[in-house]
Every structure is written in structure tokens, then in C-alpha cells.
Structure 1
Amino acid sequence: MNTIGWEAFSKGNRINIGISLLVIILGVIFAGDIPRQGDHFGFWSVLPPLVAIVLAFWTREVVSALFVGIALGGVISGNLNIVQEYLIPSIGTEDFALILLVYLWSLGGLIGIWTRTGGAQKFAAWASDKIVRGPKTAKFFTWLMGLIFHQGGTISTVLTGATVRPITDKHGVSHEETSYMVDSTASPAATVIPFNVWPIYIGGLVVGTIPMFETSQDGIAFFFSALPFNFYGIFALVVTLLFAWELLPWIPGKKMRAAIKRAKETGKLDRDESEPLAATELTEMKVPDDYQPGLVDFFGPIGTLLGIAIIPYIVTFYIMGQEDPLLMIAEAFVLAVLVGMFLALSKGMELKTVMEGFIDGCKGVTIGAIILALAVSLKSVADSVGTAAYIIELVGDAIIPAALPAILMLLCIIIAFSTGTSWGTYAVVFPVAVPLVWAVLPDPFFLTVCFGAVVGGAVFGDQCSPISDTTILSSLATGCDLMDHVYTQAPLAILAASIGAVLSTLMVVFFV
């Protein structure tokens, strides 16, 4: 690589590549020489996930940090062929294939199809005509769109932000307010209304961590049982709703109060010195000139998605009383994509255009699939070197159960804020946290509370991080200055997180 190219390469990547080379050299020298102590390698066992966490924190680059952790695990275990020993066995599983099918092809593809049919934007325009009458209802409409486009992360922020911005601008809502509501109803909503890929992803991470989670379906079912204890996700939505209706008795954050006052008194949607991010790329749809978008382009796929995912679950769980309810998330996503394609074709769109939209959507979520592949591989490494066994042996008896949910939540906040990714945080925390919680107190209710704390903590850190894709895209889609968005939403998010941490602690104190 030439000098210019190397200088342009990010500092985080250069650091992680250097450490990777060091790990490889150490592997050649020490492979197989580290003694195993029963189920683990002593302190060496904690290094793969610890190094991955520290590097992600330090360099703010998750992909290479995860790879370094995997390579280090290969050195410790003596399995230097990490591709054959860890990567291929981890990603060549039925569980990983399911996540890939739903997340990469179905969810991404559906969003891509909507960029060609204009269905989501058509629905938003129709709904705004029915709901919006002024600034309050414009903000409520933004909150509502965040829940409807509840798939989480970049998808929610792009869809919600691009569709509500013209409406909130028209009614004089500051860009700081709009970007906060878009961001706070993206990932939080995805974890509270989880008829999406989130339970499948997390379910895959906890498989095999304790006897309760023998299959990914066990993990998915537990995710649903823990929904009432994802206190940050719940209160993030509640605080945002109260904010939208202007019902909060006091708005935390001087900068947000100044933004609201400025918009009301002067009509300025940004402060004078701000540098709003351009959002043209996110607001432009690629609908063919001869195609007429309709509500059916939205309601057809989304109705199929929610109907097939929710109705069987309600019937088998609430009506038939089955302990193992039928949850058809994968089938629902695949059929939703097919319905979207069929509707577009039946209305005259060319097959080539439909498939281009589908492929573009798949491309947009590829990075998530890469992180997932490395995450499940790091989990296999942690199992191989006995990470959980060592941590449990070391600190399992020293932790006060009542403090553990808040500790885990704070840990996830720090990691997610520093790396800008909730999914990457789940990848390095869940495989260690679940067995640790079970060792501290083998109680399903205690595990449920701690599980919810991890889910919510990672989302909070991701949402507030200035390097998070959702934070950046929320600013882009709403035309807000990035740091103005960061500074104004943080106090409101901290309010929701503080309530969540206190409730988690009280749940353990009084009910465990």
C-alpha cells in the first residue's frame, strides 16, 4: 500500500491489523504451549472477548476487533487454522442460515423493493393527512412512524426520517426534536416490538451458553419472555411519546430546550452556526416514471409480515395456551418479500427493476451479516477456551445479585457507546453474561431481568454514540447537525436509562 493509501486508512484498522500480525507471530511461537486448567486456560481464557471489547472500545472499529479476538483464541487453544476450526463451523450452521435468510435477504430486500414502489412513502403521506394538524401531531406522527417502521437500526431511521421530515419541517418542528424522535424509536422500538430479526440474532448468540438454551428457538422464546423487562426500550418509547405530545413536566437538557424555543419563536429549524448533514441520498426514491405508488404497495408486504408473524403466535399462545407458541418470523419475512414483488409486477413494474431494488436492499445490510459471522465465531472461540467457565470460577461468588443487572447495563452502555453498535456489543457480552448470571443465581426470573438489562443497555449506548450508524443516519435523514443531535438527545435517553437501571435493581431486590 502506498503512503497516501496507508495514511488514508483509518487509525483503528491500522492498529487492529498490527495486533493481528502480532497475534499470528505469537501463535507460531506459543501454539499449543498454554496449559489447560480443567475447563479453561486460566486468565488466557478471558483474553479473546476481552481483547475484542478493548479494541472495539479503543479503535471504534468492530469487525477487525472481533477478528483479532478470534485469532487470539486460536493461539490460546492451539487451533491456528481459525477458518476451519471456528469460522466455517460457526457460519455453516442452520441457525446462522436462518439469520442470513431473514436479515440479509428478506428484510434488506423488502426495504429495497419499497425504494422502487414508493409504498412506504405513500403510506406516510396518506397517514399524515389523517393525523397531522400542527406541531404536536407532527411530532406524534413521527413517533408513530418509528413504531410502524420498527425493524430497527439504519432501516428504521432512514424510512422514518425520510418520510416525516417534510411534514415536521412544514409545521416548524426543530431538526433536533425530529432527529431525537427518529433515533429513539428505531432500535428501542425494534427490541420492544420484536417481530423482526432481533430475537433471531440474539437467540443465536445465546445458544449453548446454559442448558436452558439448547437451540436458537429456545433463545428466541426467552427473548419474548424478557420483553417486559427491557426497561430502557420501554421507557425510551414512553419518554419520546410524552416529549412528542409536550407532556413532560420538564425537558432535560439545556440545548434541547433552546432548540424548541428557537423553533417556536423564530421558525429556525437549526441553530445559526450548525452544519446540517445533507440527506438527499436518503430522501430520493428510485420509483420508475411510469409506476403509480399505492397504499397496497405498503400494506400488502407489511400486512403479510405482521399477520403471519403475529396471528399464529396469538392463537397458539393466548387462545390455545401452548407453552411453545408458533412464531413464524422467517416465513413471514420471506412471504412479505414475495408479496411486495408480486404487487410491483402486477402493477406493471419490470422484473429487472424489482430485482434491482431487492439486490440494493440486500447490499445495504451486508455489514450486519459480516459482524454476525464474526460474532458467532467469537462465541465458538469463547466456548473452546472456556471463557465463561473461568469467569464463573473467578467472580461468580463475589457478585451481589441485586447489583448485576445495573452492572451489565452499564458495561453494555460503555461498549456500545464506544463502538457505535448494539449488535457488536451483544456479540461480545451475551456469550459471557448469560453463564455468569446463571452461576451467580440460577433463577429464570433473575436471568430474565439481567437479559433485559443487556438488551436495553446496548441499545442506549448505540443510540447516543456519535459514531453509531443510527445516530448519523438520524441526523442525515432529518437534516440535523450531527453533534447537535448527540447533545440534545443524550439527556432524554439518560432519563429513560436511569429509570430502567433502578427498576432492574428493584426487581431483583423484591422478587428474587
Structure 2
Amino acid sequence: MNINNNMKIGIITAVCVIGLFVLSLLITQMPADGNNSARFGVLTLLPPLVAIALAFITKETILSLFIGIFIGEFMLCVTDLNIVNSIINAFLAIAHQIIACMSDPWNAGIILQCLLIGGVIQLITKMGGAKALADALAKRADTPRKAQLITWFLGLCVFFDDYANSLIVGPIMRPVMDKLKVSREKLAFVVDATAAPVAGIAIISTWIGLEISLIAAGFKTIGMDVSGFGIFLQTIPYRYYNILILIFIVISALTLYEFGPMKKAEQEARARKGLEPVKAFEAPGFDEVQPVEGIKLNVWNAIIPILTLIVGALIAFYWNGYSAILSGNDQALITLMKTSPLSFDGIFEALSASDTSVSLFQAALLASIVAMVMAVAQRIMTIEQAISEWIGGMKTIVITGVILLLAWSLGGVIGEVGTADYLVSVLKDTIPYWILPSLIFILGGLISFATGTAYGTMSILMPLAIPLAWAVSPDMGFVITCTSGVLTGAIFGDHCSPISDTTILSSMGTSCNHIDHVQTQIYYAGFVAIIAIIFGYIPAGFGIPWYISIPVATIMMFVGLKIIGEKVDFEKNVEEETA
């Protein structure tokens, strides 16, 4: 056995060394001048492709991300055929990349708010609030249909931020779904599909500031000074993927039809007997945490901290943006804040200017304090015990922080090697006017899938897509459709990518195996994306309005699901168990 293992290790090592040598040989023959996307060419796709392929093959997310980062850094460090020197420099560069990601204020704020929300969830669970809320929801959500629809509705309610959505809705609905034998994979899909797709089209969210600023800047490149918010509103009906994925959840929930790996996951969940444990996330999570013995379950022990988190986040968003505007140099905005701070325009401008990572951290800290005070005031825990449980909840999120850091580091390396610029340069020349909205959507999806970031994809594509659309057809409606293709394509790719932070957080929040979540979700996201292209963006290229395309696309989703799917019946399983 040891001989076989040693042979495997030796073979893997030899293959890796040969692969690095070949990669070094290819890179040393490339011209060193110019940008990296032109220098590396198709090799720019190597880091994300390796990371994604290994994630699917090995199901080891951390290892896959690390290897992807290493390959990217190795490519940047190659100057000659001295592999040992390049490996050492690449390893040192990885450390610098991870530290740079950790020291970024935005990233640090996201990790901290994730940790704090983990602490809040554990406190809520120990106080019995989570179980009480799950029991209350279970009275209404007494079938898989109702449970999925309630999860969908909760996702719509937490519209203001995709991260908050993943971390709030998942833990609330997980025990309900487990009781009704709905798979963790289906729960993770519903949570993920109501995160970025909802926040991306909400008129008050943590996304809108970036979106409208990119839109306004893009139109300036064609000499048009427009209202970024006004154009944003006009893109909403043409955000076909966002809209259709939300409709698809409802169709799937009502029909109980599933296909692909999700069908298998749902069949396995339905076949689970009695108290048989649910297959969960690899890392320790909230599943093992139980309420303190002997306490009276109270739904308000969950509702009050969660409402504190949500309302606190909205207030923090506003106050952070309000303060930023008053300390800035834009006199028009300063006047607006002083004269009409609570008008629609005032609230909108404040939310657009807010630092969302800081605001979410502040809200999570406030919710933590409220939860601890409630636990102590009701004599459920002492202050020492409450703090200990709070810290214990944060420990369950540590692995998520590690994955996020590696995902951000891979994104940084991908940016340095020029993956996105290469994809744009290769695909941008295919521009028949009617196919351009679809092409932009597909390109946005590819870049976002490969890089794991919707924000970065929007930032890259928007300055290119708007001038390109205007050059192909100087019609405002056509340009707006292409603009929506950028925003929606970025969200589609981000929704599918195993290295996307929202995908990772959805897995963690629902205690679902991350790669299982990705493998089951990608079939559904791809199905909806195909429908969005064929019945949404291609017709839009010919000028067909959204109010025709969306109903037709909805019908085709229903028909397609009926054709390729199969009903995973709940009632039959209940009858079999009670017989």
C-alpha cells in the first residue's frame, strides 16, 4: 500500500515538474513587453481554469484555489527556465497577495461582518430563537412547496445586500427544509438565486452605487451626460437572467420538478428516514449547536436580533453615506443632504455613497450586542457564557474567511495576468448588431465565472460595451439593452462560479457542501441563462420589447422543465413512511 502511495506521489510530482517546465518554456518564448493579456495570450485562462477544474475533480476548494493562485504567480515570476527560482518567487508572491487582500478595508470589513453574523446566529440558536422561528415557519411551511416559496420570499425581503441575504436566510430556513426533507443543495440554490440577482436590481442596495457610477461613466465616453440612476431603472425590465431565475424558483417549487444533479439530491433527501443525519458542509457548522436545556423557546429571541441586523444595516448604510457626502466636495450633494436629507433623492444618494462593508460590520456588531443583552436579561446565559458562544459562532465562519481570502487572491492574480482583457479582446470583434446584447451577456458571464467577481466584471466591461453598442447602433433602447447585458451577465457568471464569494457564503449559510452546491446549481443557472438568451436578449437585439419576451420566456421555462425534469414527489414518500 505504501509503495503504491509513494508511486502516486512520485508520478504526480513528476507531472507537476514537467508541466511547470513546459509552462516556463512557453512563457520565456513570449515577448516581455506589452500588457500581460497580450503577452500570455490563451495562457491567461490557465489559473482560473485549473482552480475551477480541480475544485470539481477533487472537491477540495481551498487546495484548488491555492493551486490556481500559485500557477498565476508562477507565470508572473517566470523570467528564464530556472524552475526552482520561479517556484520560490511564486510562493513569496502568494504571501504578499493574501496579505494585500486581507489588508484591503473592503475585504477586511466583509470578513469581520461574516464572523460577527456567525456569532449572532450561534447566540440566536443557543437562546432557542432559531428553533422557535423554525417551528413557527414550519407551521406555515408544512410542505416542500411552501418552504421553498417562503425561502424565496425571505430572500426578496433581504434585498439590500447579497452577503446579508446568504447569511440570514440560510440559517433560518435550514432546519425547516431538513424537517421537510428538502435537500441542502436546493436550499443553497434558492438562497444563492435570491442574493445577487435580487440585490443587483433593487433600487436601494449595496450594488446600486457601483452600477450607476459605471453606467454614467460609460455614457460619458460617447459624449452623453445622463443620469446613471435613470438609465439603471430603464435596464431593469431587460435584466432577463435576474428576473427569470426568480420566476424559475417559483415554477420549480410549485411543480416539484427537478433535473440534473439537483434531482438526485432531492431524491436522496426525500428518501432519508426519520432522524437520519443530513449530509452537510465539510467544516463544523451550526448544525451541532442546540438551545440551552430547559429554556422556553421564544420566537422573539430570533426576530429581534435579525431585525436589528437588517434595520441597523439600512440605517448604517444611510449614515455612512450621509457622512461621506458632507465631508466631500460635491456642493450640490451637500446642499441636498442639508435641505432634504430624508427625501427619496437624499436617501438614494446617501446609500450610493456608503461603504457597505463598514456598515454591515457596524450592524452585525449592534445585533451581537442586542443578542447578548437579551440572553443575559432572560438569564439564559451569563455574560461570560454569551461572549463564549458568540466567539464560538465566529469560529464556524473561519473556514469561510480562508476561502474568501483565497478567492480574492485568485481574483487579484487573474487581474495581473490579464484574463478578462484577453477574453474581451478575443470576443469583442463578433458584433452583428442583433447578437450584440447576447454576446455581451455571454462575455460578462464568462469573465465573471472565471474571475469570481461580478463587480470586477462590470467595471471591465461597461466602458467597452456602451461605446461598442453605440457604434453598432446609435439607438438609446439598444444601448440600454446592451448595458443590462453587462450587469446581468456579470451576475450570471458570479452565480455559477465556485470561486465567487456569494456562492461560498450561500454554501456556508446553508451548511451545504460547497462543490455539491455548485454542481447542482450550475445546471439550473445555465438552463435559465439559455432561456434568457434565446427568448430575451436575441429578440431584444431585433427590438422586441421586454413585456413580450418575459412572458414567452416564462412559458418556455415551464415547458422546458416539464420536458427535461422529473417530479420528486413529497406526498408519496410520506405515505410510504406512514404505511
Q: TM-score, normalised by structure 1?
A: 0.67
Quick one: distance in 2 between partners of 1:430 and 1:56?
Answer: 22
Match of 1:183 in 2: 188
SS in 2 for 1:185: helix
The Cα of 1:123 is off from its aligned counterpart by 1.5
Out of 244, 255, 267, the position equivalent to 1:235 is 244
Q: Deviation string for 1:457-502 (max 9, x for gaps)?
A: 4425669xxx98967996969xxxx79x978x88765553333334
Verify the 8 A CA contact 1:371 1:424 in the aligned structure 2. Answer: no
Verify the 8 A CA contact 1:136 1:244 in the aligned structure 2. Answer: yes
The Cα of 1:186 is off from its aligned counterpart by 1.0
Quick one: distance in 2 between partners of 1:304 and 1:431?
Answer: 33
Q: Deviation string for 1:222-274 (max 9, x for gaps)?
A: 9x97776654443333233244345x9xx4659999999x99xxxx93299xx
Quick one: distance in 2 between partners of 1:160 and 1:451?
Answer: 29
The Cα of 1:114 is off from its aligned counterpart by 2.5
> More deviation in 278-287 or 104-113?
278-287
Cα distance change of structure 1 residues 492 and 383 upon mapping to structure 2, 3 Å threshold: closer
Match of 1:451 in 2: 487
Verify the 8 A CA contact 1:76 1:385 in the aligned structure 2. Answer: no
Quick one: distance in 2 between partners of 1:20 and 1:342?
Answer: 60
Quick one: distance in 1 between partners of 2:490 and 2:18?
Answer: 29
SS in 1 for 2:270: coil
* Counterpart code for 1:354: A
Out of 300, 304, 316, the position equivalent to 1:300 is 304
2:55 matches 1:22: no
Quick one: distance in 2 between partners of 1:271 and 1:347?
Answer: 37
Aligned residues: 460
Q: In the TM superposition, what are the counterparts of 1:107-506 in structure 2 within 5 Å?
A: 107-129=117-139, 131-132=140-141, 137=146, 140-141=149-150, 143-144=152-153, 151=164, 156-166=169-179, 168=180, 175=181, 181-194=186-199, 231-246=240-255, 251=257, 253=259, 269-270=270-271, 277-278=278-279, 283-289=287-293, 291-310=295-314, 319-321=344-346, 324-326=349-351, 329-330=359-360, 331-348=362-379, 349-384=381-416, 388=420, 392-400=424-432, 401-408=436-443, 411=446, 424=452, 433=461, 437=465, 440-441=468-469, 446-460=482-496, 495-502=527-534, 503-506=536-539
Verify the 8 A CA contact 1:410 1:457 in the aligned structure 2. Answer: yes
SS in 1 for 2:194: helix
Q: Deviation string for 1:280-319 (max 9, x for gaps)?
A: 9764433222544422221222212222334676996872
Which blocks of at least 5 consecutive residues in structure 2 are unaligned? 56-60, 80-85, 219-228, 320-339, 471-478, 546-579
Cα distance change of structure 1 residues 23 and 438 upon mapping to structure 2, 3 Å threshold: farther
* Counterpart code for 1:75: C
* Counterpart code for 1:44: F
> More deviation in 57-66 or 140-149?
140-149
Verify the 8 A CA contact 2:124 2:130 in the aligned structure 1. Answer: yes
Q: Deviation string for 1:107-154 (max 9, x for gaps)?
A: 33322333322322212212333x356675455445445656874558
Match of 1:36 in 2: 33
Out of 110, 128, 138, the position equivalent to 1:99 is 110
Verify the 8 A CA contact 2:245 2:525 in the aligned structure 1. Answer: yes
> More deviation in 387-396 or 326-335?
387-396
Verify the 8 A CA contact 2:199 2:207 in the aligned structure 1. Answer: no
Verify the 8 A CA contact 1:404 1:450 in the aligned structure 2. Answer: no
Verify the 8 A CA contact 1:63 1:370 in the aligned structure 2. Answer: no
Out of 53, 58, 67, the position equivalent to 2:53 is 58
> More deviation in 398-407 or 52-61?
398-407
The Cα of 1:55 is off from its aligned counterpart by 0.3
The Cα of 1:447 is off from its aligned counterpart by 3.7
SS in 2 for 1:356: helix
Verify the 8 A CA contact 1:409 1:453 in the aligned structure 2. Answer: yes
The Cα of 1:339 is off from its aligned counterpart by 2.0
Cα distance change of structure 1 residues 109 and 5 upon mapping to structure 2, 3 Å threshold: farther
Cα RMSD (Å): 5.6
SS in 1 for 2:110: helix
The Cα of 1:187 is off from its aligned counterpart by 0.5
Quick one: distance in 1 between partners of 2:93 and 2:522?
Answer: 40
Cα distance change of structure 1 residues 394 and 236 upon mapping to structure 2, 3 Å threshold: closer
Q: TM-score, normalised by structure 2?
A: 0.60
Cα distance change of structure 1 residues 501 and 394 upon mapping to structure 2, 3 Å threshold: closer
Q: Deviation string for 1:310-365 (max 9, x for gaps)?
A: 46769968724565232564233332222222222322212343233333333333
Match of 1:217 in 2: none
* Counterpart code for 2:77: V
Cα distance change of structure 1 residues 292 and 18 upon mapping to structure 2, 3 Å threshold: farther
Match of 2:336 in 1: none
Verify the 8 A CA contact 2:117 2:364 in the aligned structure 1. Answer: yes
Quick one: distance in 1 between partners of 2:17 and 2:389?
Answer: 39
Quick one: distance in 2 between partners of 1:3 and 1:278?
Answer: 34
Cα distance change of structure 1 residues 112 and 70 upon mapping to structure 2, 3 Å threshold: farther
Which blocks of at least 5 consecutive residues in structure 1 are unaligned? 169-174, 213-220, 417-422
Verify the 8 A CA contact 2:32 2:39 in the aligned structure 1. Answer: no
* Counterpart code for 1:63: L
Verify the 8 A CA contact 1:143 1:240 in the aligned structure 2. Answer: yes
The Cα of 1:85 is off from its aligned counterpart by 5.9
The Cα of 1:188 is off from its aligned counterpart by 0.8
Quick one: distance in 1 between partners of 2:486 and 2:128?
Answer: 41
Match of 1:88 in 2: 99
Match of 2:74 in 1: 72
* Counterpart code for 1:36: D
Cα distance change of structure 1 residues 157 and 491 upon mapping to structure 2, 3 Å threshold: same
Quick one: distance in 2 between partners of 1:70 and 1:206?
Answer: 32
- Which structure would you say has the larger Rg? 2
Q: Deviation string for 1:374-417 (max 9, x for gaps)?
A: 4444444455455555555554334452232442366379x58x
